[in-house]
Amino acid sequence: MTTESSGCPMHGSGRPASIVHEEKAQLDFSRDMSYGDYLQLDQILTAQKPLSPAHDEMLFIVQHQTSELWMKLMLHELRAAIAALASPQADTRPEAFKMLARVSRIMEQLVNAWTVLSTMTPPEYTAMRPYLANSSGFQSYQYRSIEFSLGNKNAAMLQPHAHRSDLLEQVQAAYQAPSLYDVALQLLAREGLEVPADRLQRDWTQPYEASEGVKQAWLTVYRNPQQHWDLYQLGEKLADIEDAFRLWRFRHLTTVERVIGFKRGTGGTGGVSYLKKMLDVVLFPEIWSLRTEL
């Protein structure tokens, strides 16, 4: 067999090598920043340190580490969107809508990640589970910050982070701040909609409770979307986020049930039973209930 017919990428027909030279691609990075340098791949790709001899622990670690990276981006977008919606300047709203759309797309990535983890069978997980000790996704400070930013406030969820003052500070900030929905309702009021005063100024650490007055305000928006176009878009962006969040939670539930059945979680929760309760949490209740009356 000749070199040319072997399909060798650099020596076969000579075309790949010639294309590289024709494009004048930089090949020497002894003095310049490379792709790996910029992304700090040495640190990222050496952060996977399995504790067990089980082959599948690498899948478990990578899935959760990449999910945390996506959650980091989600928080970045959520915080910026909340700030943009809270601004009295109307020209910040398109930026906020773009960020909220990105949050929904990030959640789609997180949903798909469970599909990869679901290839782990019960015996494969059992082989590595003892090495996890009490560590659990339940303890993710980024996930908790996301939940708090979306309005699912619960003081007990601060406790898993009490041993780290730096992490507790971040989670507590999200816990004490107005949620995305709180800021959305303040925007409705600034645009002249009648939002009950007790929903505009309240204890932000408490979970939001549905209000008939808030539903009527949103109905005004949805019955005349052209007149309230920005608010109409905001309502649909909120619906997109909660829709995606429900799918994320549901896929988590089905993956856990597929892999461990109804065993208790490593973090001490009931596992599937706890996740089922989380499916009943509604973040933006009036956005959903108004549809029945349209």
* 63 in a known ligand binding site: yes
CB-count exposure of residue 77 (10 Å: 0-12, 13-18, 19+): buried
- Please give the Cα distance from 218 to 292 (Å, whole number): 12
Task: Let me know: does 272 contact 257? Beta carbons within 8 Å.
Answer: yes
Cα dihedral sign for 22, 23, 29, 35? Answer: negative
* 38 in a known ligand binding site: no
Stated as kind and residue range, the H or E segment containing 42 is: helix 41-44
Tell me the CA distances in angstroms from 162 to 131, 139, 167, 171, 172, one per residue in order. 23, 11, 8, 10, 10
Those residues with Cβ within 8 angstroms of residue 121's Cβ, 6 or more apart along the chain or in another chain:
259
* 266 in a known ligand binding site: yes
* 60 in a known ligand binding site: yes
- Please give the Cα distance from 143 to 138 (Å, whole number): 8
Backbone Cα Rg of the chain = 24
Those residues with Cβ within 8 angstroms of residue 21's Cβ, 6 or more apart along the chain or in another chain:
none
Q: Which of 150, 61, 77, 107 is nearest to 251 (CA)?
A: 107
Q: Which of 146, 4, 134 is nearest to 71 (CA)?
A: 146
CB-count exposure of residue 136 (10 Å: 0-12, 13-18, 19+): middle
* 125 in a known ligand binding site: yes
* 82 in a known ligand binding site: no
* 76 in a known ligand binding site: no
Annotated binding site for heme: 252
Residues at the annotated binding site?
A: 60-64, 125, 129, 252, 266
> Could you tell me which residues are annotated as the binding site for substrate?
60-64, 125, 129, 266
